[in-house]
């Protein structure tokens, strides 16, 4: 294969220098992804913003990332992977530094947009560079290390960023990333081979603008749907119509033009097409527990922040072990690793269905370890299967769509889970409060009411608080059931994956 000969032309020292710097750059972007969410309350207070206003600091960053990510393939073809990667890391670092210096909400939002746009190509291009820099027999090992950085960094970032924000100010949660970005920039400048002359291909503006409009509208729906009560809001309805129309224009245009913005013919590759569905499911499962468990444990189960951080940290530990195990078992059929990973996801989801407000720390720790381990176990074989049968020239474009769907799956399922929690909490609170009335004679029996006091305002307030906790717990259990069901769908889809025999012979 030409790709293998090109990779073999690099010295081992150069290959591993590329690995170190590329993984550093990818982990930088992944760390920033969730770190900002932990300091939103501090930024809101410092800038005297409402909750809806400060949320734009996250929303516009996600929008910029969604719009620019599909451009990765065109940017690489036009300017070269080294230029795109190094300038992306440098621009991301500068924008991150300026986010920390922002004095107004408008300035913060502007630099968050630049940060998202500059960092968008980093993760898909990192994976492409690694696949092109190492021979195929080493792809599982390389993807294991890459996945570990991308998966574990979002666990470490919020913990460290939250500590710095509490000890100093929220600005240090941004500033801590800048030195890492500069080191990655310098390393990439020396490690990556020089780009060949870029092709003078024209950007398909119709395809780009229609896809950008569709992605922006979808991300706005996911980011603001819960806050605006979904289809009861005119804004959400308009955004859904824009997304549907823009996506229709994009599909029709790509099928009819000779040089489309994204090559839909890549979907003819069965493994890549199934890989896109599986990575969407992977994204749905990856960050959702990290978003749902902290508010459940803090607000309703009474866990202190330190213990919640330990639970999330155990998930990171499980990821690390899972990625290492995936690298060690790389010679096995990838479907074995994916099946085992999704099976553990199903098991952890069903285990979460047994949780109540008295759940113990050891149960949470073991469940988080299993979830993290399964995430690490799935990523490497999933990446190998999705890209194994594609031509090296298609990898940059294919990787951009691959990671875009991973992010969209994460945003979609988090929004869907939160919406279900809000809906179920309200519905069950209404049903349970119906039972607390003077006409319910059961409440007059002392062996039924116990220490609850229904005769005073203070007693009723305590009862209402407890009902809220129990109603919310039902909502979380519904979300956990959705998590287990999606995991089961992923397990079924793994059975459809086709393993190429020639690859098995090379492994």
- Say which residues have a Cβ less than 8 Å from residue 122's Cβ, sequence separation at least 6: 25, 26, 28, 29, 85, 88, 89, 92
What's the pLDDT at 258? 80
For residue 504, what pLDDT is reported? 38
pLDDT of res. 437:
75
Helix (H) or strand (E) holding 14: helix 12-38
pLDDT at 91: 93
Distance of alpha carbon 357 from alpha carbon 351, whole angstroms = 14
The CB-based long-range contact list for 68-71 (8 Å cut-off, 24+ gap) reads 68/116, 68/117, 68/120, 68/121, 69/120, 69/121, 69/124, 69/400, 69/403, 69/404, 69/407, 70/208, 70/211, 70/212, 70/215, 70/261, 70/262, 70/400, 70/401, 70/404, 71/120, 71/121, 71/208, 71/400
- CB-facing half-sphere around the CA of 160: CA atoms within 13 A: 14
Sign of CA dihedral 422, 291, 100, 165: positive
Cα–chain center distance at 230: 22
pTM: 0.77
- Give, in degrees to the nearest 5, the angle at Cα 118 between 227 and 207: 75
Q: What is the pLDDT of residue 109?
A: 87
The yes or no reply on domain 262-507 and CATH 1.20.1250.20 is yes
Q: Which parts of the chain register pLDDT below 50?
A: 1-2, 501-507
1-200 and 262-507 agree in CATH topology: yes
460's CB contacts (< 8 A; 6+ apart) are 436, 453, 454
**Cβ atoms of residues 29 and 122 within 8 Å:** yes
* Cα separation, 88 vs 110, whole angstroms: 17
Answer for the pair 411, 62: CB distance below 8 angstroms, yes or no: yes
pLDDT of residue 7: 59
The ranges assigned to domains in the chain are 1-200, 204-260, 262-507
The CATH T-level fold of domain 1-200 is Growth Hormone; Chain: A; (1.20.1250)
The tokens describing 178, both together, are 């800048």
For 73, residues 6+ apart whose C-beta sits below 8 A from its C-beta are 262, 396, 397, 398, 400
Residue whose token pair is 């469940």: 367
Separation CA 258–CA 282 (nearest Å)? 33
DSSP 297: I
């Amino acid at each position: 294969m030409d790709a293998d000969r090109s990779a073999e032309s690099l010295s081992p020292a150069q290959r591993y220098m590329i690995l170190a710097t590329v993984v550093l750059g990818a982990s930088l972007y992944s760390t920033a992804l969730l770190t900002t969410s932990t300091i939103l309350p501090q930024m809101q207070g410092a800038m005297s913003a409402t909750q809806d206003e400060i949320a734009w600091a996250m929303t516009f960053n996600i929008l910029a990332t969604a719009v620019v990510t599909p451009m990765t393939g065109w940017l690489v073809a036009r300017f070269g992977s080294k230029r795109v990667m190094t300038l992306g890391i440098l621009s991301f670092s500068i924008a991150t530094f300026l986010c920390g210096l922002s004095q107004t909400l408008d300035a913060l939002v502007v630099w968050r947009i630049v940060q998202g746009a500059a960092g968008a190509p980093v993760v898909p291009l990192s994976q492409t560079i690694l696949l092109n820099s190492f021979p195929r027999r080493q792809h599982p090992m390389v993807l294991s290390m890459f996945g570990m950085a991308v998966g574990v960094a979002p666990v470490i970032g919020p913990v460290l960023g939250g500590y710095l924000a509490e000890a100093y100010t929220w600005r240090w949660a941004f500033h801590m990333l800048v030195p890492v970005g500069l080191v990655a920039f310098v390393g990439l400048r020396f490690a990556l081979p020089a780009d060949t002359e870029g092709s003078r291909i024209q950007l398909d503006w119709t395809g780009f603008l229609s896809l950008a409009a569709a992605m922006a509208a979808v991300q706005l729906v996911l980011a603001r749907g819960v806050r605006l009560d979904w289809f009861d809001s005119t804004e959400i309805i308009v955004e859904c119509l824009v997304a549907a129309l823009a996506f229709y224009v994009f599909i029709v245009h790509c099928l009819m033009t000779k040089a489309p913005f994204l090559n839909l013919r890549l979907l003819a590759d069965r493994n890549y097409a199934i890989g896109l569905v599986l990575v969407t499911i992977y994204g749905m499962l990856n960050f959702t527990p990290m978003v749902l468990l902290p508010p459940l444990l803090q607000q309703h189960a009474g866990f202190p922040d330190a213990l919640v951080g330990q639970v999330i940290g155990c998930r990171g530990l499980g990821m690390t072990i899972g990625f290492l195990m995936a690298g060690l078992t790389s010679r096995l059929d990838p479907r074995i690793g994916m099946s085992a990973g999704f099976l553990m996801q199903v098991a952890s989801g069903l285990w979460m269905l047994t949780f109540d407000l008295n759940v113990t720390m050891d149960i949470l720790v073991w469940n988080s370890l299993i979830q993290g381990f399964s995430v690490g176990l799935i990523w490497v074989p999933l990446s190998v299967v999705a890209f194994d049968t594609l031509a090296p020239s298609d990898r940059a474009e294919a990787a951009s769509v691959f990671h875009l769907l991973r992010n969209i799956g994460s945003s979609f399922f988090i929004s869907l889970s939160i919406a279900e929690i809000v809906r179920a909490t309200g519905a069950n609170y209404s049903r349970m409060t119906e039972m607390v009335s003077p006409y319910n004679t059961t409440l007059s029996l002392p062996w039924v009411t116990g220490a609850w006091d229904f005769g005073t305002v203070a007693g009723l307030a305590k009862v209402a608080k407890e009902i809220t906790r129990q109603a919310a717990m039902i909502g979380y259990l519904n979300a956990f059931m959705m998590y287990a069901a999606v995991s089961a769908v992923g397990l079924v889809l793994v059975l459809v994956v086709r393993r190429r025999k020639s690859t098995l012979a090379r492994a």
